[in-house]
Structure 1
Amino acid sequence: MSPLIAIAAVAAIQGQAPPARPPGTERTDLQRHDLSIPGWESLQARVDFAPGASFPMHSHPGEEIIYVLNGTIEYDVEGEGAFTVKAGDVLFVPAGVFHSARNSSEAPASELATYVIEKGKPLVTLKR
Protein backbone atom coordinates (compact mmCIF):
# COMPACT_ATOMS: atom_id res chain seq x y z
CA MET A 1 0.00 0.00 0.00
CA SER A 2 1.36 3.42 -0.89
CA PRO A 3 2.13 5.85 1.97
CA LEU A 4 -0.53 8.30 0.73
CA ILE A 5 -3.22 5.60 0.66
CA ALA A 6 -2.17 4.47 4.14
CA ILE A 7 -2.41 8.02 5.49
CA ALA A 8 -5.84 8.48 3.90
CA ALA A 9 -7.03 5.15 5.34
CA VAL A 10 -5.85 6.02 8.86
CA ALA A 11 -7.43 9.49 8.60
CA ALA A 12 -10.72 7.96 7.44
CA ILE A 13 -10.71 5.50 10.34
CA GLN A 14 -10.00 8.34 12.76
CA GLY A 15 -12.73 10.46 11.15
CA GLN A 16 -10.29 13.02 9.76
CA ALA A 17 -9.68 13.74 6.11
CA PRO A 18 -6.14 14.55 4.96
CA PRO A 19 -5.80 18.21 3.93
CA ALA A 20 -6.98 18.77 0.37
CA ARG A 21 -4.53 20.09 -2.21
CA PRO A 22 -5.36 23.60 -3.33
CA PRO A 23 -7.00 23.75 -6.78
CA GLY A 24 -4.51 23.99 -9.62
CA THR A 25 -1.65 22.32 -7.72
CA GLU A 26 -0.51 18.74 -8.14
CA ARG A 27 2.28 16.82 -6.40
CA THR A 28 3.69 13.70 -8.03
CA ASP A 29 5.91 11.70 -5.68
CA LEU A 30 8.93 10.42 -7.62
CA GLN A 31 10.92 8.57 -4.97
CA ARG A 32 11.10 8.06 -1.19
CA HIS A 33 14.02 6.46 0.65
CA ASP A 34 15.18 5.89 4.21
CA LEU A 35 18.39 7.77 4.97
CA SER A 36 21.43 6.44 6.81
CA ILE A 37 20.41 8.71 9.70
CA PRO A 38 17.89 6.76 11.82
CA GLY A 39 14.40 8.29 11.78
CA TRP A 40 14.96 10.38 8.63
CA GLU A 41 13.96 9.92 5.00
CA SER A 42 14.08 11.75 1.69
CA LEU A 43 11.13 12.39 -0.58
CA GLN A 44 11.49 13.80 -4.07
CA ALA A 45 8.42 15.15 -5.83
CA ARG A 46 7.41 17.19 -8.83
CA VAL A 47 4.99 20.00 -7.95
CA ASP A 48 2.97 21.56 -10.76
CA PHE A 49 1.14 24.89 -10.54
CA ALA A 50 -1.55 25.92 -13.02
CA PRO A 51 -1.56 29.60 -13.98
CA GLY A 52 -2.60 31.62 -10.93
CA ALA A 53 -2.55 28.59 -8.58
CA SER A 54 -1.04 28.87 -5.12
CA PHE A 55 -0.21 26.82 -2.04
CA PRO A 56 -0.85 28.62 1.29
CA MET A 57 1.62 29.19 4.14
CA HIS A 58 2.90 25.83 5.34
CA SER A 59 5.98 24.14 6.81
CA HIS A 60 7.69 20.74 6.65
CA PRO A 61 9.30 18.53 9.33
CA GLY A 62 12.69 18.93 7.64
CA GLU A 63 14.42 20.82 4.86
CA GLU A 64 13.00 21.45 1.40
CA ILE A 65 15.38 21.88 -1.53
CA ILE A 66 13.67 23.34 -4.62
CA TYR A 67 14.73 23.46 -8.27
CA VAL A 68 12.34 25.34 -10.57
CA LEU A 69 11.82 23.23 -13.69
CA ASN A 70 9.74 25.67 -15.73
CA GLY A 71 7.82 28.90 -15.42
CA THR A 72 8.10 31.41 -12.60
CA ILE A 73 6.99 30.93 -9.01
CA GLU A 74 6.60 33.58 -6.33
CA TYR A 75 7.61 32.33 -2.88
CA ASP A 76 6.95 34.04 0.42
CA VAL A 77 9.33 32.68 3.05
CA GLU A 78 8.82 33.77 6.64
CA GLY A 79 11.67 36.04 7.66
CA GLU A 80 12.74 36.67 4.06
CA GLY A 81 9.64 38.10 2.40
CA ALA A 82 8.35 37.50 -1.10
CA PHE A 83 10.51 36.96 -4.19
CA THR A 84 10.16 35.36 -7.61
CA VAL A 85 12.27 32.54 -9.05
CA LYS A 86 12.30 31.23 -12.61
CA ALA A 87 13.26 28.04 -14.42
CA GLY A 88 16.78 26.99 -13.46
CA ASP A 89 16.74 28.80 -10.08
CA VAL A 90 17.05 27.04 -6.74
CA LEU A 91 15.69 27.69 -3.25
CA PHE A 92 16.37 26.21 0.20
CA VAL A 93 13.68 26.29 2.90
CA PRO A 94 14.89 25.37 6.42
CA ALA A 95 12.96 22.91 8.58
CA GLY A 96 9.85 24.33 10.22
CA VAL A 97 9.95 27.66 8.32
CA PHE A 98 6.57 28.69 6.98
CA HIS A 99 6.42 29.54 3.29
CA SER A 100 3.93 29.78 0.43
CA ALA A 101 4.20 29.43 -3.33
CA ARG A 102 2.19 31.03 -6.12
CA ASN A 103 2.31 30.91 -9.89
CA SER A 104 1.57 34.54 -10.70
CA SER A 105 2.02 34.03 -14.45
CA GLU A 106 -0.35 32.95 -17.19
CA ALA A 107 1.74 29.85 -17.99
CA PRO A 108 2.14 26.57 -16.05
CA ALA A 109 5.05 26.32 -13.60
CA SER A 110 6.77 23.30 -12.01
CA GLU A 111 9.35 22.60 -9.35
CA LEU A 112 11.37 19.59 -8.30
CA ALA A 113 11.08 19.47 -4.50
CA THR A 114 13.43 17.30 -2.44
CA TYR A 115 12.49 16.93 1.22
CA VAL A 116 14.82 15.65 3.94
CA ILE A 117 12.28 14.92 6.66
CA GLU A 118 11.62 13.13 9.92
CA LYS A 119 9.84 9.82 9.31
CA GLY A 120 6.30 9.45 10.55
CA LYS A 121 5.48 13.16 10.62
CA PRO A 122 3.02 14.79 8.24
CA LEU A 123 4.82 16.27 5.23
CA VAL A 124 2.79 19.49 5.33
CA THR A 125 1.59 21.56 8.28
CA LEU A 126 -0.64 24.47 7.28
CA LYS A 127 -0.21 27.74 9.16
CA ARG A 128 -3.33 28.49 11.18
Structure 2
Amino acid sequence: MKRMGLLLTLTLTVGIALGVIGTQALNAQQEPMKRTVLLKTDLAGIEGKEGVLALVEFAPGAATQSHYHPGEEIAYLLEGAVSLEVQGKSPITFKPGDTFHQPPKQVHRVKNLSSTMPAKALAFTIAEKDQPLTVPVK
Protein backbone atom coordinates (compact mmCIF):
# COMPACT_ATOMS: atom_id res chain seq x y z
CA MET A 1 0.00 0.00 0.00
CA LYS A 2 2.87 2.37 0.88
CA ARG A 3 4.50 1.60 -2.45
CA MET A 4 1.31 2.55 -4.34
CA GLY A 5 1.07 5.86 -2.46
CA LEU A 6 4.74 6.63 -3.16
CA LEU A 7 4.31 5.82 -6.86
CA LEU A 8 1.21 8.00 -7.07
CA THR A 9 2.98 10.91 -5.32
CA LEU A 10 6.00 10.60 -7.61
CA THR A 11 3.81 10.51 -10.73
CA LEU A 12 1.85 13.56 -9.59
CA THR A 13 5.05 15.49 -8.79
CA VAL A 14 6.60 14.72 -12.19
CA GLY A 15 3.34 15.70 -13.93
CA ILE A 16 3.20 19.06 -12.16
CA ALA A 17 6.86 19.75 -12.95
CA LEU A 18 6.36 18.96 -16.64
CA GLY A 19 3.26 21.16 -16.73
CA VAL A 20 5.15 24.12 -15.25
CA ILE A 21 8.07 23.66 -17.67
CA GLY A 22 5.69 23.33 -20.64
CA THR A 23 3.80 26.49 -19.68
CA GLN A 24 7.02 28.47 -19.35
CA ALA A 25 8.21 27.23 -22.75
CA LEU A 26 4.92 28.24 -24.40
CA ASN A 27 4.99 31.69 -22.80
CA ALA A 28 8.61 32.23 -23.82
CA GLN A 29 7.75 31.50 -27.46
CA GLN A 30 4.78 33.87 -27.58
CA GLU A 31 5.30 36.80 -29.91
CA PRO A 32 4.88 40.30 -28.43
CA MET A 33 2.19 41.22 -30.97
CA LYS A 34 -0.15 39.24 -33.20
CA ARG A 35 -2.12 40.95 -35.99
CA THR A 36 -5.09 39.08 -37.45
CA VAL A 37 -6.46 40.70 -40.61
CA LEU A 38 -10.27 40.59 -40.46
CA LEU A 39 -10.95 42.50 -43.69
CA LYS A 40 -8.80 43.84 -46.53
CA THR A 41 -10.64 45.75 -49.26
CA ASP A 42 -10.25 48.31 -52.01
CA LEU A 43 -11.75 51.69 -51.14
CA ALA A 44 -14.19 53.24 -53.60
CA GLY A 45 -13.10 56.64 -54.88
CA ILE A 46 -9.57 56.32 -53.48
CA GLU A 47 -7.52 54.86 -56.32
CA GLY A 48 -4.56 52.72 -55.23
CA LYS A 49 -5.56 52.64 -51.55
CA GLU A 50 -7.02 49.86 -49.46
CA GLY A 51 -8.63 49.59 -46.06
CA VAL A 52 -7.52 46.94 -43.59
CA LEU A 53 -9.38 46.04 -40.41
CA ALA A 54 -7.31 43.95 -37.97
CA LEU A 55 -7.44 42.55 -34.46
CA VAL A 56 -4.14 43.31 -32.72
CA GLU A 57 -3.21 41.28 -29.64
CA PHE A 58 -0.35 42.19 -27.29
CA ALA A 59 1.09 39.40 -25.14
CA PRO A 60 1.22 39.95 -21.36
CA GLY A 61 4.09 42.27 -20.44
CA ALA A 62 5.29 42.44 -24.04
CA ALA A 63 6.50 45.46 -25.97
CA THR A 64 6.73 45.75 -29.73
CA GLN A 65 9.93 46.81 -31.37
CA SER A 66 10.02 50.33 -32.79
CA HIS A 67 8.09 50.46 -36.05
CA TYR A 68 5.84 52.63 -38.20
CA HIS A 69 2.82 52.16 -40.42
CA PRO A 70 3.05 53.33 -44.06
CA GLY A 71 -0.60 54.44 -43.93
CA GLU A 72 -3.04 56.07 -41.52
CA GLU A 73 -3.96 53.85 -38.57
CA ILE A 74 -6.91 54.38 -36.23
CA ALA A 75 -7.24 52.06 -33.22
CA TYR A 76 -9.79 51.25 -30.52
CA LEU A 77 -8.54 49.46 -27.40
CA LEU A 78 -10.85 46.55 -26.56
CA GLU A 79 -9.08 44.98 -23.56
CA GLY A 80 -6.16 45.68 -21.26
CA ALA A 81 -4.00 48.76 -20.87
CA VAL A 82 -1.16 49.78 -23.15
CA SER A 83 1.47 52.47 -23.29
CA LEU A 84 2.04 54.13 -26.67
CA GLU A 85 5.59 55.43 -26.94
CA VAL A 86 5.94 57.78 -29.92
CA GLN A 87 9.52 58.65 -30.78
CA GLY A 88 10.48 61.98 -29.20
CA LYS A 89 7.32 62.24 -27.06
CA SER A 90 6.22 61.15 -23.58
CA PRO A 91 4.41 57.77 -23.39
CA ILE A 92 0.60 57.85 -23.32
CA THR A 93 -1.48 55.23 -21.49
CA PHE A 94 -4.67 53.87 -23.04
CA LYS A 95 -7.38 51.74 -21.40
CA PRO A 96 -10.41 49.89 -22.84
CA GLY A 97 -12.66 52.20 -24.84
CA ASP A 98 -9.86 54.65 -25.70
CA THR A 99 -9.02 55.44 -29.30
CA PHE A 100 -5.88 56.76 -30.95
CA HIS A 101 -4.54 57.73 -34.37
CA GLN A 102 -1.13 57.02 -35.84
CA PRO A 103 -0.17 59.22 -38.80
CA PRO A 104 1.86 57.57 -41.57
CA LYS A 105 5.51 56.83 -40.79
CA GLN A 106 5.32 57.96 -37.13
CA VAL A 107 7.88 55.77 -35.33
CA HIS A 108 6.46 54.23 -32.16
CA ARG A 109 6.22 51.14 -29.99
CA VAL A 110 3.44 49.73 -27.83
CA LYS A 111 3.82 48.07 -24.43
CA ASN A 112 1.21 45.95 -22.67
CA LEU A 113 1.12 47.29 -19.10
CA SER A 114 -0.12 43.99 -17.61
CA SER A 115 2.29 41.15 -16.99
CA THR A 116 -0.53 38.61 -16.75
CA MET A 117 -3.29 39.62 -19.20
CA PRO A 118 -3.17 40.25 -22.95
CA ALA A 119 -4.30 43.56 -24.45
CA LYS A 120 -6.43 43.71 -27.60
CA ALA A 121 -7.17 46.49 -30.06
CA LEU A 122 -9.17 46.85 -33.24
CA ALA A 123 -7.12 48.73 -35.84
CA PHE A 124 -8.26 50.26 -39.13
CA THR A 125 -5.57 51.23 -41.63
CA ILE A 126 -5.78 53.13 -44.91
CA ALA A 127 -2.65 52.61 -46.98
CA GLU A 128 -1.26 52.12 -50.46
CA LYS A 129 -2.26 48.74 -51.87
CA ASP A 130 0.10 45.85 -51.32
CA GLN A 131 2.23 47.65 -48.72
CA PRO A 132 3.17 46.03 -45.40
CA LEU A 133 1.01 47.03 -42.44
CA THR A 134 4.08 47.65 -40.26
CA VAL A 135 7.71 48.46 -41.02
CA PRO A 136 10.35 47.73 -38.34
CA VAL A 137 12.78 50.50 -37.38
CA LYS A 138 16.24 49.72 -36.05
Query: TM-score range, shorter-chain basis?
Result: 0.7 to 0.9
What residue in structure 1 maps to residue 16 of structure 2? none
Aligned with residue 51 of structure 2, among 32, 35, 42: 42
Alpha carbons 2:82, 2:93 under 8 Å: kept: yes
> Scaled by the length of structure 2, what TM-score is found?
0.72
Please tell me whether Structure 1 or Structure 2 has the larger radius of gyration of its CA atoms: 2
What residue in structure 1 maps to residue 99 of structure 2? 90
Alpha carbons 2:77, 2:97 under 8 Å: kept: yes
Runs of 4+ in 1 over 6 A off after TM superposition: none
1:96 alignment partner AA: K
1:111 alignment partner AA: A
Partner Cα separation in structure 2 for residue 24 and residue 75 of structure 1:
14
> What is the DSSP-based 3-state SS (H/G/I as helix, E as strand, rest coil) of the residue aligned with 1:96?
coil
1:28 alignment partner AA: T
What residue in structure 1 maps to residue 62 of structure 2? 53
RMSD (Å), alpha carbons: 1.4
* Aligned: 1:32 with 2:40: yes
Q: Gapped runs of 5+ residues in structure 1?
A: 1-21
2:33 alignment partner AA: T
Count, aligned residues: 107
Partner Cα separation in structure 2 for residue 27 and residue 77 of structure 1:
20
Partner Cα separation in structure 1 for residue 86 and residue 32 of structure 2:
21
* Aligned: 1:72 with 2:81: yes
> Scaled by the length of structure 1, what TM-score is found?
0.78
Q: Which has the higher strand share?
A: 1
Q: Gapped runs of 5+ residues in structure 2?
A: 1-29
